[in-house]
Amino acid sequence: MDEAALRAQLAMLGASLFARGYSVGTAGNISVRLPDGYLMTPTNSCLGRLDPARISKLAPDWSHIGGDKPSKEVFMHRAVLTARPDAGAVVHLHSTHATAIGCLAEPGTAAPIPPLTPYFVMRIGRALPVIRYYRPGDGAMEADIHDAAKSAKAVLLANHGPVVSGRTLEDAVHAAEELEEAARLALLLRGAGARELTPAQVDDLLATFG
């Protein structure tokens, strides 16, 4: 896909996320890897109303070279895209249920969302590290996210929200949607003794689809 098509797709998927309540107001940001740099949603922009022509462009060294001023979370996106060379895009949301799990889970603890359904395992995998709280835009978060993202497609920022990568922009959006639904399910079933997928079932899914 060329840059113009990616800009149009970013605006279309941002609007779709916004229309379905995965993002409200100006919350969230999205980046896409290009052959000659990165696209990033502008700071204080609404994912529901992105103008493809005004989406920020960053050079391979992450300096701002076009469009509106980029998201203040450049460090967050750089952390993931440099840790995961196979990732083509990163989606950060404040989607309600994933953010709620990020308020409940202790940073450093394993598996804040249990493997309840196959699609969660297929889209997110086994690992979902919880990164300790940082003020939005604080460059100090970069090292922690970078280390965690080396072995995880997605991370949860404590008291903030999810950061999800994908091979393509569409993959990253689908994974962010699936993470939100899995978080909703986990909260709905919290304490109810729900049956989880067994380690062997998780292994089988990852061997087949991972």
Residues that bind ligand LB5GJZVW (CB under 6 A): 26-29, 41, 43-44, 71-73, 92, 136
Catalytic hit among 3, 119, 133, 170: 119
The owner of tokens 């994933």 is 98
Between 52 and 136, CB nearer to ligand LB5GJZVW: 136
Between 123 and 160, CB nearer to ligand LB5GJZVW: 160
**Residue 73 is among the residues annotated as catalytic for this protein:** yes
Instruction: Provide the minimum distance between the beta carbon of 90 and ligand LB5GJZVW in the complex, in angstroms, as a whole number.
Output: 12
Q: Would you call 24 exposed, middle or buried from its count of C-beta atoms within 10 A (0-12, 13-18, 19+)? A: middle
Please state, as a whole number, how many other Cβ atoms lie within 10 Å of the Cβ of residue 73. 24
Instruction: Provide the minimum distance between the beta carbon of 170 and ligand LB5GJZVW in the complex, in angstroms, as a whole number.
Output: 20
Between 112 and 162, CB nearer to ligand LB5GJZVW: 162
Instruction: Provide the minimum distance between the beta carbon of 175 and ligand LB5GJZVW in the complex, in angstroms, as a whole number.
Output: 17
Instruction: Provide the minimum distance between the beta carbon of 120 and ligand LB5GJZVW in the complex, in angstroms, as a whole number.
Output: 23
Between 26 and 82, CB nearer to ligand LB5GJZVW: 26
Q: Which residue type sits at 162?
A: P
Interatomic CA distance for residues 43 and 70, integer angstroms: 5
The owner of tokens 């709905």 is 188
Interatomic CA distance for residues 50 and 98, integer angstroms: 24
Q: Which residue type sits at 44?
A: N
Catalytic hit among 3, 22, 38, 73: 73
What one-character DSSP code corresponds to residue 85?
T
Do the Cβ atoms of 77 and 13 come closer than 8 Å? no
166 in helix, strand or coil? strand
Give me the active site residues, please.
73, 119
